[in-house]
Amino acid sequence: MKKNMLRIIPLLLIILIIPTQLQATDLSVAKSLSNVFADIAKRVSPSVVTITSERVYKHPGMEQFRSFQDMFPEQFRQFLPDGDREMRSTSLGSGIIISKDGYIITNNHVIEKGENIKVQLADKRELDAEVIGSDPKTDVALIKIDAKNLTPIRMGDSDKIRVGEWVLAVGSPFSGSLSQTVTQGIVSATGRSSVGLMDYEDFIQTDAAINPGNSGGPLVNLDGKLIGMNSAIASRSGGYQGIGFAIPTNLVNRVVEDLRSQGHVTRAWLGVYVSAIDAALAEALGMEKAMGAQVEQVVEDSPADNAGLKQGDIIIEFDNHTVESSKHLPTMVSIQRPGEKKKLEILRSGKLKTLTVKLGEMPEEARAVGPFEIEKSDLGFTVETPSAERLRTYGLPKGTEGVLVTFVNRGGEAYRKNIRVGQVIKKMGPNIRDLDQVTSERAFNNNLHGYSAGDSILLLVQRDTDNTFFVALTIPD
């Protein structure tokens, strides 16, 4: 009995001790992480400022009273709404000190159309600021205060961040009295480019709490380095709902370089109109996933034209970086310098090809409309075997092979994917390796009968004499 007890007692002690040790270890880890957050907040806070600006405007509702002024005795007119009366509003945001001598970055929407811009430092000093330059297309602005020996934030490389990394956001949500508010979260996603907030988007998405007033504040990693500038939230209520967006540091730095040196941004230009690659087209082209940008049109004498880029090419890499979507490409190009040579990896007729392009400077007319991207996306069009007269009507050469598109349903998939009356369907098939020549309307319809609802079909479409493009459609129910 004694022997058995001697064996059991050590086991009981081990059972009792292990949970205590585990709990102590867990607590130690939690405390270490807490200390990291606290250290980062202490290091970053001196580089974060609160920005207020006033906007003066005339209330449009006041104008209707102007014509009624003379109907009242003069002594009463002072009590009537005045169409010329100025109204004032104050905007609130945050900013990031990037130099010891007072340069500060923030969002364009924080200071846009603002007057009397004030900056409150972490030590509560309030200073006037001047606008050095702003760029509405990326929502980045550069301002300056007259101060020295400030604490600039340390810069990080936003290209190296990974989804799941811990991050901290700092700013002044809702009120200047809440300045230096620190929140914690993770990087939820990178490369968000279809948010619809501005022309050039490459957002970092985070679940760190961001609210109105946080705009222009920093998003930092666990090294305390700036990886993004908080810019916007996705919310139905106007407050935090777990989805915030920050502009990557590398994009901000590129814009700020130009703003600081010349007061405006000079952008590189490729010279293509592009459209999205959907799942159906990706499958038909033999791609593993829907990615890249399909060239819909090449601007004549543009850098793309000179590099040999053709309509129908799929751009899958730019400067050794994957092109995630058609909306991603314009931003990737715009942050480069005009005159630089970059490699393009493209998919042409099912084969990979590498081109070198010398980027140009974006012309004024292109700047006015922003990035060149054609929006596309249920099946519905009719064709006929074309006569020589019909071909001539649409400016197509005699002997053009294929079937002529005679009607397209404007609410259908084909229309959204840029199939139009007067184009010619030349080839069709399940994928790029199995394309059949289309010789007549009967041949086209017979070929369609071999597909079932939900299947994808790849079409080679001739737009005019010289230009062709691929489009993938889904066979409807």
- In angstroms, the CA 22 to CA 26 distance is 6
- Where do we find the tokens 């060149």? 372
The answer to whether 179 is a known catalytic residue is no
Tokens of 464: 């005019």
The answer to whether 237 is a known catalytic residue is no
Query: Are the C-beta atoms of residues 142 and 130 closer than 8 Å to each other?
Result: no
Taking residue 70's Cβ as centre, other Cβ atoms within 10 Å add up to 8
- In angstroms, the CA 417 to CA 420 distance is 9
- Spot the catalytic one: 53, 109, 231, 278: 109
| One-letter amino acid for residue 236 of the chain | R
Q: 3-state DSSP helix/strand/coil percent for the chain, to nearest 5?
A: 25, 35, 40
DSSP H or E stretch at residue 111: helix 108-111
Beta bridge partners of 199: none
The answer to whether 91 is a known catalytic residue is no
- Spot the catalytic one: 53, 91, 139, 193: 139
Tokens of 303: 């850098």
Query: Are the C-beta atoms of residues 245 and 203 closer than 8 Å to each other?
Result: yes
The distance of Cα 248 from the centroid of its chain, to the nearest Å, equals 10
Number of residues that make up the chain: 477
Of 160, 205, 171, the C-alpha closest to 187 is 205
Q: What angle do CA 9, 10, 14 make, to 5 degrees?
A: 120
Decide: helix, strand or coil at residue 388: helix
Helix/strand/coil (H/E/C) assignment for every residue in 208-277 = CCCCCCCCCCEEECCCCCEEEEEEEECCCCCCCCCCEEEEEHHHHHHHHHHHHHHCCCCCEECCEEEEEC
Cα-based distances in Å from 323 to 118, 295, 332, 337, 401: 40, 13, 8, 18, 34
- In angstroms, the CA 158 to CA 145 distance is 27
DSSP H or E stretch at residue 95: strand 86-97
- In angstroms, the CA 55 to CA 88 distance is 6
- Spot the catalytic one: 215, 275, 325, 334: 215
Taking residue 285's Cβ as centre, other Cβ atoms within 10 Å add up to 21
- In angstroms, the CA 190 to CA 203 distance is 6
DSSP H or E stretch at residue 76: helix 74-77
- Where do we find the tokens 């998919």? 347
- In angstroms, the CA 286 to CA 278 distance is 12
Annotated catalytic sites, by residue?
109, 139, 215
